[in-house]
């Protein structure tokens, strides 16, 4: 097992934030500082420089991070080989953000488990929470929508998606509306921490608008509940096209085109740098053909 002090430093390099590192590792901030100080004394060199409120990693610090990365890879490979030698049924923990968790990941899991003898434990949550679980190593990899820092992780694109403005059949649907015209609608949106919401907020900001510019809005943390409210003509919402594919096809909901306001995004496989990728690579490759049917 890799020493907890090394894991602490490795996490700090990724976050460059003492408080966030402490939360990720379920430690106190003084505990993080103590681990870093121990390593600096042990190696007789500075690993970080604190300038104001910013943490900068020294050259020696990056060398140590590279070494820890290799240790993590080796540790994972050893565990993988031991499990294979014992011929044990492997258990994998994966995470998915809410849209993917509700409308995509079950098909991918089913397709994978038809061929491979394994157990899969799935956690579904919003983007912020899933990434926290990934950083804490609670899950091995995640399927993520929304806005996050791509350069902090290893990623592979799953597919492209878009957010569409969805209304009930009873709503006044014109061929095209301007963004200003829908500000009088009741907007139903996801909760804070949702990748879908963050993406919407970013696009509204591009037009010098925010959620509060809408006459009224509701925050709902469940996609199914949002669609139910829309069907009852209680509001409209920007929803993943993937999530309303069935309702649109069955003519239960309608898409309203908004002039000069498109929200495109990509869905990603995401895993931490240094993680063993045998399961991840196999999962991705095995599901490539299935995903072509979604495009």
Predicted local confidence at residue 23, as pLDDT: 86
Distance from C-alpha of 13 to C-alpha of 63, rounded to nearest angstrom = 11
Which residue(s) pair with 236 in the sheet? Answer: 187
User: 246 and 141 in one domain?
Assistant: yes
User: 104 and 78 in one domain?
Assistant: no
Distance from C-alpha of 118 to C-alpha of 133, rounded to nearest angstrom = 21
User: 234 and 136 in one domain?
Assistant: yes
Q: How many domains does the chain have?
A: 2
In which residue are the tokens 């003519």 written?
251
User: 110 and 78 in one domain?
Assistant: no
Predicted local confidence at residue 81, as pLDDT: 73
Q: Which of 84, 107, 123 is the last residue of a domain?
A: 84
Say yes or no to pLDDT of 151 above 90. Answer: no
CATH number of the CATH domain containing 95: 3.40.190.290
User: 254 and 108 in one domain?
Assistant: yes
Q: How confident is the model at residue 295 (pLDDT cuts 50, 70, 90)?
A: low
pLDDT tens-digit series, residues 122-140: 999 999 899 999 998 899 9
- Reported as type and span, the H/E element at residue 135 is helix 127-135
Lowest mean pLDDT among 110-114, 174-178, 250-254: 174-178
Residue 178: phi and psi, rounded to 5, are: -85, 165
Average pLDDT score, the chain: 90
User: 119 and 66 in one domain?
Assistant: no
User: 199 and 101 in one domain?
Assistant: yes
CATH number of the CATH domain containing 77: 1.10.10.10
pLDDT tens-digit series, residues 78-87: 776 776 677 6
User: 291 and 162 in one domain?
Assistant: yes
In which residue are the tokens 């492209």 written?
160
Which residue(s) pair with 93 in the sheet? Answer: 121
Say yes or no to pLDDT of 274 above 90. Answer: no
Distance from C-alpha of 279 to C-alpha of 269, rounded to nearest angstrom = 12
Lowest mean pLDDT among 34-48, 210-224, 271-285: 271-285
State mean pLDDT over 191-212.
92
Cα dihedral 151/132/222/142 (nearest 10): 60
User: 96 and 23 in one domain?
Assistant: no
Q: Which of 84, 115, 146 is the last residue of a domain?
A: 84
Predicted local confidence at residue 84, as pLDDT: 67
User: 74 and 215 in one domain?
Assistant: no
Q: Which of 84, 108, 132 is the last residue of a domain?
A: 84
Predicted local confidence at residue 34, as pLDDT: 96
State mean pLDDT over 3-20.
91
The parent domain of residue 246 ranges over 89-295
pLDDT tens-digit series, residues 202-227: 999 999 999 999 999 999 989 999 99
Say yes or no to pLDDT of 74 above 90. Answer: no
Which phi-psi region, left, alpha or beta, contains residue 285 (left: φ > 0; alpha: ψ -120 to 50)? alpha
State mean pLDDT over 182-199.
91
Predicted local confidence at residue 149, as pLDDT: 87
Say yes or no to pLDDT of 95 above 80. Answer: yes
Strand 186-189 and strand 216-219: pairing? Answer: parallel
Cα dihedral 236/241/244/245 (nearest 10): 150
State mean pLDDT over 145-159.
89
User: 115 and 77 in one domain?
Assistant: no
User: 165 and 148 in one domain?
Assistant: yes
Predicted local confidence at residue 294, as pLDDT: 65
What percent of the chain clears pLDDT 70, i.e. is strictly above it? 96
State mean pLDDT over 100-118.
91
């Amino acid at each position: 097992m890799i020493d907890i002090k090394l894991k602490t430093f490795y996490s700090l390099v990724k976050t460059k934030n003492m408080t966030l590192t402490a939360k990720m590792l379920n430690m106190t901030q003084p505990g993080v500082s103590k681990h870093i100080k121990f390593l600096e004394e042990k190696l007789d060199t500075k690993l970080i420089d604190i300038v104001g409120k910013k943490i900068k990693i020294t050259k020696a610090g990056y060398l140590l991070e590279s070494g820890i990365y290799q240790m993590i890879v080796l540790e994972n490979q050893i565990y993988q080989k031991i499990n294979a030698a014992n011929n044990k049924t492997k258990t994998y923990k994966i995470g998915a953000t809410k849209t993917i968790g509700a409308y995509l990941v079950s098909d991918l899991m089913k397709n994978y488990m038809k061929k491979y003898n394994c157990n899969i434990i799935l956690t579904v949550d919003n983007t912020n929470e899933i990434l926290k679980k990934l950083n804490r190593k609670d899950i091995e990899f995640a399927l993520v929508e929304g806005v996050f820092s791509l350069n902090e992780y290893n990623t592979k694109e799953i597919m492209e998606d878009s957010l569409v403005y969805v209304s009930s059949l009873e709503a006044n649907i014109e061929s095209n509306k301007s963004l200003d015209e829908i500000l009088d609608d009741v907007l139903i949106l996801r909760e804070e921490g949702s990748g879908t919401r963050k993406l919407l907020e970013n696009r509204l900001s591009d037009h010098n608008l925010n959620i509060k510019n809408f006459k009224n809005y509701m925050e709902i943390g469940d996609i199914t509940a949002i669609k139910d409210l829309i069907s009852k003509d209680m509001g409209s919402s920007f929803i993943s096209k993937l999530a309303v594919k069935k309702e649109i096809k069955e003519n239960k909901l309608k898409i309203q085109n908004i002039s000069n306001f498109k929200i495109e995004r990509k869905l990603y496989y995401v895993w931490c740098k240094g993680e063993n990728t045998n399961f991840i690579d196999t999962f991705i490759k095995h599901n490539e053909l299935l995903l072509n049917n979604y495009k």
